[in-house]
Amino acid sequence: MDDLDAVLDRARRFADDWLGAVGERPVAVPVADADARARFDDRLPTHGRPAAEVLDELASALEPGLVASAGPRYFGFVTGGALPVAVGADWMVSAADQNAAVRVMSPAVAALEDVTGAWVCELLGLPAGSAVGFVTGAQMATVAGLAAARHALLAAQGWDVGAGGLAGAPVPTVVIGAMAHSTVLAALRLLGFGADRAVRVPADDQGRMRPELLRDLLASIDGPVLVCAQAGQVDTGACDPLDAVADAVGERASAWLHVDGAFGLWAAAAPARRHLVAGRERADSWAVDAHKWLNVPYDGAMAIVRDPAALAAAFSSAAAYITIGAGDPSGRTPESSRRARAVPIHAALRHLGRDGVADLVERCCTLARQAADELGAHPRIDVLNDVVLNQVLFAPRGADAAELSRAVAADGTCWVGTSAWHGRPALRLSVSNWSTTPADISRSTAAITTALDRLTGR
Ligand SMILES: *Cc1c(COP(=O)(O)O)cnc(C)c1O
């Protein structure tokens, strides 16, 4: 046990050092890729080393190349931090080392998944009794939801896709919004639907699917349809009008509605934002991340499917020595052996409670509004989106957006990524971290406007 004591001490020391400094560390990509690589000896060792030394070596080799993305002024992509309670629970997951594949391998984890899945459905206002698979991220959650859809829609045509595959199958028409997330396309590729075969519904200026055009489009399609809507467009935070989308889809005899709500579905947990996702409960499947807005450490997300049998049909498996069925955690996910991902998610929800989650979501939205107001007050910044959630999309006038992003990174106060909106290069500021304060926002917007003033020579 001496060895165990020593390594856990080292891990604890690393965590203390890292987490103690993450709020004040320069929030940039700290070293070039080649420098990060150079810190690791690339010769496979012949002889081993004591465990504690290995961790010391790792800590010093990793540290210079780590990004302070869990800190309060990292606004890139849609990046959550990690609530302390979830970090602690995640350590417990590793210590217990349970295989959360089948119930018999860990009755405790299987039970906890059941409880946590039901909590998530209740919190997000999704149908009780839905099946919840704990997966790595929203991409895999969408893969799981669309795999369930593929099974169910084809089974309704008398085709067993698990046995017969897609060749020769009466494949449903896939319909997506023009501003669907790239991971939805990845899921369509992976599942054999083909990204380019998906029919796209034009979006409005905020990136929302236009439901009247969806209705017209659906009227022109024969046979089953699989419609992918979105709650939380990654650049604008805008949500498709899910009630109107569900109305249009609901007129079909054979249809499945999936909602990619990686971050946006959390709007349902905050009373003042809930109207943005009205109608969400009418879909058949949902994808939602935990590592973004719930602030659980990577990785964790939920694939939620109204009809548990459809999800189980997509993922259950059997051999003489092991059966993975609907009641097993892995019977609801694409994996077999897997980490007990629900544990840190449970810890975060238990710690925050319904009120705490609502507060976390609302706080981030309020901070995004503050950032938009402060940036928008600058004479050479245009805020491009209606700031309804936690995303702010803005563009400089008289300077290059990518150059501004690099200048902000070099300053190190905060980090904002780039995108493009209707062809115009833009910057994205996403407020998703539990520890961000109004002072962090003001410091960051000041750093951004100062960088812009320098670039434009003011
Ligand atoms: C982040 C995101 C995804 C992908 O989530 P991962 O956790 O990276 O798999 C999908 N859809 C939207 C809208 C997102 O913001």
Give the C-alpha separation, 173 to 418, whole Å.
Answer: 33
Angle at 414 (CA atoms; ends 411, 416), nearest 5 degrees: 105
Is 313 touching ligand 1 by the criterion CB < 6 Å?
Answer: no
In which band, very low, low, confident or very high, does the pLDDT at 1 lie, cut at 50, 70 and 90? Answer: low
Distance CA 309, CA 441 (A): 46
- pLDDT tens digits for 58-115? 999 999 899 999 999 999 999 999 999 999 999 999 999 999 999 999 999 999 999 9
Helix (H) or strand (E) run with residue 286 in it? strand 285-289
Q: 18-63, pLDDT tens digit by residue?
A: 999 999 998 987 788 888 889 999 899 999 999 999 999 999 999 9
pLDDT digits (tens, 9 = 90+) for 150-186: 999 999 999 999 999 999 999 999 999 999 999 999 9
Residue 256: both structure tokens together = 């499945």
pLDDT at 3: 87
pTM: 0.98
Q: Is 176 in the pocket of ligand 1 (CB under 6 A)?
A: no
Topology of domain 88-348, CATH: Aspartate Aminotransferase; domain 2 (3.40.640)
Q: Which of 134, 142, 182, 183 to mutate to test the pocket of ligand 1 (most atoms within 8 A of CB)?
A: 183
Could you tell me if the CB of 235 is within 6 A of ligand 1?
A: no
**Residue 137 Cα to ligand 1 middle (Å):** 7
Distance CA 284, CA 131 (A): 11
Q: How far apart are CA 402 and CA 407, in angstroms?
A: 9
Please tell me if the CB atom of residue 201 comes closer than 6 angstroms to any atom of ligand 1: no
Which residue, 177, 375, 360, is CA-closest to 263? 360
| Residue 76 phi, psi (nearest 5) | -80, 155
> What string of H, E and C letters represents the secondary structure of 12-41?
HHHHHHHHHHCCCCCCCCCCCHHHHHHCCC
Cβ-proximal residues to 175 (8 Å cutoff; 6+ apart), any chain: 198, 199, 200, 201, 214, 217, 218, 221, 225, 226, 227, 228
For 373-416, the pLDDT digits (tens) are 999 999 999 999 999 999 999 999 999 999 999 999 999 999 99
Write out the two tokens for 437.
């304060």
The rounded Å distance from CA 405 to ligand 1 centre is 22
Q: How far is CA 269 from the centre of its chain?
A: 16
139 lines ligand 1 (CB under 6 A): yes
Tell me how far the alpha carbon of residue 221 lies from the centroid of ligand 1, in angstroms.
Answer: 29
What is the 8-class DSSP label of residue 457? T
